[in-house]
């Protein structure tokens, strides 16, 4: 008799967790850190492995964690996509604007780069558009570098497709981007570089211009060209 009672007790204990799981409310979908699309040392020597590891594993993770925390604390934000949050960033608390921007910008940034061997060149269509807007690829790079070096403090420099279908260089402070309602120059980003010191300080220290020069070695032109074609097709 004692053995039967014990068996029943164990059976009920074993059943409890699955019952609890079945009755639990599903957890809201949380934003997650995307894996780097290459090894941390793939962008050497332009960007060193230690910088990439800290930048991705610590800085980007911190934006994701802070965004999840802020969204979980505000029922009005539940279920909104990252793109929806970014588009109305100016109406949201600073913690959401900054961390949604941080998550979007870095997710975009990792895919903007490739190893030097795979950097490639702009597609013919993008090369033509760059020449039309800036004169040449070299003059475009010089203007992009100037925008990046002039960004005071922390921020980003972008190549965007504007509403007029033209390419333009713009810069945003902090973790803002050209998709935000608050952006001075709005458009679809196809290329973006992170000019926060955390992106380059270990290797380049104060030499942001050298970082901006070296960065061209690891621009994934196939991806940038794909984004350009996509942006033009949506118009």
Residue among 50 and 230 whose Cβ is closer to Fe ion: 50
Instruction: Determine phi and psi for 56, rounding to 5 degrees.
Output: -75, -55
Q: Does 204 bind Fe ion (CB under 5 A)?
A: no
Residue among 54 and 119 whose Cβ is closer to Fe ion: 54
- CA 13 → CA 1, 2, 4, 23, distances in Å? 19, 17, 14, 16
Q: Is 55 annotated as a binding residue?
A: yes
Compute how many other C-beta atoms are within 10 angstroms of the C-beta atom of residue 60.
Answer: 21
Q: Does 221 bind Fe ion (CB under 5 A)?
A: no
Residue among 126 and 194 whose Cβ is closer to Fe ion: 194
Per-position x/- string for 183-202, each x denoting binding to Fe ion as judged by CB under 5 A, each - no binding = -----------x-x--x---
Please answer whether residues 112 and 191 qualify as being in contact, where contact means their C-beta atoms are separated by less than 8 angstroms: yes
Question: How many chain residues bind Fe ion (CB under 5 A)?
Answer: 3
Q: Is 198 annotated as a binding residue?
A: yes
- Shortest spacing between CB 87 and Fe ion, in angstroms: 21
- Shortest spacing between CB 226 and Fe ion, in angstroms: 23
Closest by CA to 97, choosing from 67, 56, 57, 60, is: 67
Residue among 107 and 123 whose Cβ is closer to Fe ion: 107
- Shortest spacing between CB 175 and Fe ion, in angstroms: 8
Residue among 180 and 199 whose Cβ is closer to Fe ion: 199
Residue among 129 and 179 whose Cβ is closer to Fe ion: 179
Q: Is 106 annotated as a binding residue?
A: yes
Please answer whether residues 91 and 44 qualify as being in contact, where contact means their C-beta atoms are separated by less than 8 angstroms: no
Q: Which residues have C-beta within 8 Å of that of residue 217, sequence separation ≥ 6?
A: 46, 116, 119
CA–CA dist 167, 159 (Å, integer): 7
Q: Is 56 annotated as a binding residue?
A: no
- Shortest spacing between CB 182 and Fe ion, in angstroms: 19
3-class DSSP assignment, residue 168: strand
- Shortest spacing between CB 34 and Fe ion, in angstroms: 14
- Shortest spacing between CB 52 and Fe ion, in angstroms: 11
Q: Does 176 bind Fe ion (CB under 5 A)?
A: no
Closest by CA to 224, choosing from 129, 102, 122, is: 122
CA–CA dist 38, 97 (Å, integer): 28
CA–CA dist 98, 196 (Å, integer): 14
Burial class (CB in 10 A: 0-12, 13-18, 19+), 200: buried
Closest CB to Fe ion belongs to which residue?
Answer: 194
| Footprint of Fe ion (CB under 5 A) | 194, 196, 199
Binding-site members are 55, 106, 194, 198
Please give the annotated binding residues for Mn(2+), written as ranges: 55, 106, 194, 198
């Amino acid at each position: 008799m004692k053995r039967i009672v014990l068996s029943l007790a164990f059976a009920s204990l074993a059943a409890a967790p699955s019952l609890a799981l079945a009755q639990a409310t599903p957890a809201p979908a949380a934003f997650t850190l995307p894996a780097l699309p290459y090894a941390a040392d793939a962008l050497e020597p332009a960007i060193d492995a230690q910088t990439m590891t800290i930048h991705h594993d610590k800085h980007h993770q911190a934006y994701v964690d802070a965004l999840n925390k802020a969204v979980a604390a505000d029922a009005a934000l539940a279920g909104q996509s990252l793109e929806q949050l970014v588009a109305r960033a100016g109406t949201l608390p600073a913690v959401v604007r900054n961390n949604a921007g941080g998550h979007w910008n870095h997710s975009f940034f990792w895919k903007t780069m490739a190893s030097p061997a795979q950097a490639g060149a702009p597609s013919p269509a993008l090369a033509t558009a760059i020449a039309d807007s800036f004169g040449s690829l070299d003059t475009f790079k010089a203007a992009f570098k100037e925008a990046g070096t002039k960004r005071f403090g922390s921020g980003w420099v972008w190549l965007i497709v504007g509403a007029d279908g033209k390419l333009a260089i713009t810069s945003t402070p902090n973790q803002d981007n050209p998709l935000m309602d608050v952006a001075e120059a709005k458009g679809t980003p196809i290329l973006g570089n992170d000019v926060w010191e955390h992106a380059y300080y270990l290797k380049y220290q104060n030499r942001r211009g050298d970082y901006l020069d070296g960065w061209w070695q690891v621009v994934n032109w196939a991806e940038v060209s794909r984004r350009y074609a996509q942006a033009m097709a949506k118009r």
